[in-house]
Amino acid sequence: MIDRRNHHIFQPLLYQVATAVLAPSEVAAPIRQLEAKQENVSVILGEVVGVDLGFRSVDVDCPGVGIKKVGFDCLVIAAGMQSSYFGHDEFPKYAPCLKTITDAETIRSKVLSAYEVAESIDDEDERRRQMTFVLVGAGPTGVELAASLAQMATTTLRGNFRRIDPSTTTIFLLDGAKRILPSFAESLSKKAAERLAKLGVQVITGAMVESIDARGVTVGGKLIPCGAVLWTACVSPSPLVKMLGVATDRAGRACVGPFLSVPDIPNVFVVGDTATLTQNGKPLPGVAQVAIQQGRYVGRLISRELSGRKPLGPFRYFDKGNMAVVGKNFAIMESGRIRLAGVTAWFAWAFIHLLFLPQLQNRLRVQRQWLWSYFTGQRSSRLVTEAARFDK
């Protein structure tokens, strides 16, 4: 197993690290610890920088070692997605994304630093700008992050400052689509938008971002001054797909066959967000459910081949439904014909996310912190790292 990080991240809760609800260690676990009981698994910390399908090997850039060539009989690419800024290379400097622990800590520091600056300055316009946040992208991550920010401003930070009132924070959630959460039923999307409005989040749909700089975001020729821009919009596949040199779809994902293998290249598989596969006439969505099921399928497929057992049939995805949380006591859930919105969906969301955390200690820590935050409104991870402090 090769990874450029030494830890596994439970990404569905990463937004809670960004908004100080959870600490990084509560949503992550060391890969070596997760694989400790798997004696036939070796873990390499490094980044794959080249793939040679002819010689059946990958080039890995290992810290302190350099390039190391690792041969393979079977290759499984499961590198996921990375944030995409629509070709605007200048955006990341001003609008951090949310894909890694470092991203989450950067966002947390950026948001909390904005309040610290607002507390110190005298100019009312600049103070208002510092206490304005713009999120670009109204998918599940954007909606969850916006709701959590709103509740942090009105509850957690209440009474913590002497010269500013955090409850007057302005939060904009922008998206180029006609509605938020387009992957959900329109009725649920509408209820989520209503809930965001109650929390004080201003949703603007049909908004195409033209530029982002230190002043704020320009949309439709109009500048929205803000203290922090957070990018929760488009994603693109890992660069590993290009290294394979195989056919891709318009989004750059590898086109795989019914057994999740690359056509005409034996024992090379691509799973999760880096792959595209059509089922019932529609491409499978880029969600965690698909990645988990595909990973398990390919693992069983290889195991059966090595042991000489009967091979598996083509991969079939079973849709268990979608969920998104919109602040305290409110979530939306869609599974087949079942559509729920409110506190029942929120409890289901909490239970399922606790269940899928990587380790028992993660579950216990997150459960304890959630209970503390639920009853007190406080968040225990409000740290501004020195490297990111006041970095605008």
Catalytic (active-site) positions: 144
Give the length of the chain: 392
Which spans in 29-137 are helix H? 31-34, 91-94, 101-120, 124-130
Q: How far is CA 26 from CA 29, 295, 343, 361, 364, in A?
A: 8, 24, 24, 8, 9
189-218 b/e with 16+ CB inside 10 Å = b?
A: bebbbebbeebbbebeeebebeebeeebbe
Beta carbons of 254 and 246 less than 8 angstroms apart = yes
Ramachandran quadrant class, 387 (left: phi over 0; alpha: psi -120 to 50; beta: rest): alpha
Record the tokens describing residue 236, joined without a space: 């693109």
Compute the CA torsion angle 284, 235, 193, 17 (nearest 10 deg). Answer: 110
Residues 6+ apart with CB under 8 A from 98: 14, 15, 18, 83, 104, 107, 141, 145, 230, 231, 232
Phi/psi at 178 (5° precision): -80, -20
- DSSP assignment of 211-268 equals EE-SSEEEETTEEEE-SEEEE---EEE-THHHHHT--B-TTSPEE--TTSBPTTSTTE
Query: Are β-strands 75-77 and 81-83 bridged in parallel, bridged antiparallel, or unpaired?
Result: unpaired
Beta carbons of 338 and 348 less than 8 angstroms apart = no
Residue 268, strand partner residues: 75
Rounded to the nearest 5 degrees, what angle is found at the Cα of 302, between the Cα atoms of 301 and 308? 90
Record the tokens describing residue 349, joined without a space: 């969301």
Record the tokens describing residue 71, joined without a space: 């041969």
